[in-house]
Chain A
Amino acid sequence: AQSVSQHNHHVILSEAASLELGCNYSYGGTVNLFWYVQYPGQHLQLLLKYFSGDPLVKGIKGFEAEFIKSKFSFNLRKPSVQWSDTAEYFCAVSHYGGSQGNLIFGKGTKLSVKP
């Protein structure tokens, strides 16, 4: 069965620090990859997605993620975090051609940014 691993449960950073949140998945075939974000008091929303093409994907608010097929990874990065990036981040994966009903979420990583 597919699974998604997010290595860090809680990450605490100071403003302007660089961010990298790990995400690994277990599926040998072609995949679609997503990062969702949940800001405090708000609903989950899509941050960025990868279907095919350039493995470096840019999303909203300066976030980017790199798909490394050989490592089964889709890590989320941001060069300089802001206090407003404090949120919970979820990685999700589905096999290529699958439906939203096949989407598998990771357990989430809480990011706390100190002003």
Chain B
Amino acid sequence: DGGITQSPKYLFRKEGQNVTLSCEQNLNHDAMYWYRQDPGQGLRLIYYSQIVNDFQKGDIAEGYSVSREKKESFPLTVTSAQKNPTAFYLCASSKMTGMESPLHFGNGTRLTVT
């Protein structure tokens, strides 16, 4: 059954530590995305990648980094430079970046930084 796997579901870290969130898809989709969801804020785009070894900043990229070494994987690192890292992080993918291809979402990772 194809889909997007985000792990872990819950993640706890101390302030000042970098943390990497995993996102894997077996849908053979070219494009992958990371969103941040805060209560009452909707979804905001952090980074996206249209193809392996290439990615673009979204609206709130500061304090985050990504890599796209494989088509199936798009890990997100939340660095110590991110001022408010506690949030719910959603990974998504689409067959192409055009609008005709809907986004498929993972179940998310809830990160808590204390």
Contact = CB atoms under 8 A, between A and B. Distances in A.
A71 to B, nearest CB: 21
A99 B98 CA distance: 5
Interface of B is mostly: strand
A55 B50 CA distance: 30
Nearest to A6: B42
B48 A101 contact: yes
List 7 A-B pairs, minimum CB-CB distance, nearest first.
A99-B97, A107-B42, A44-B105, A105-B43, A46-B102, A105-B42, A43-B105
Interface in A93-109: 94, 96-101, 103, 105-108
A49 B102 CA distance: 9
B99 A99 contact: yes
Interface size class of B (residues with CB under 8 A): 20 to 34
Given A43-B107, A43-B108, A100 B42 contact: no
B6 to A, nearest CB: 9
Interface of B: 4, 31, 33, 35, 40-45, 48, 50, 56, 58, 90, 92, 94, 97-108
B42 A43 contact: no
Contacts of A90: 42-43
11 contacts: A4-B42, A32-B99, A45-B104, A49-B99, A49-B102, A90-B43, A96-B99, A100-B101, A100-B103, A101-B31, A107-B42
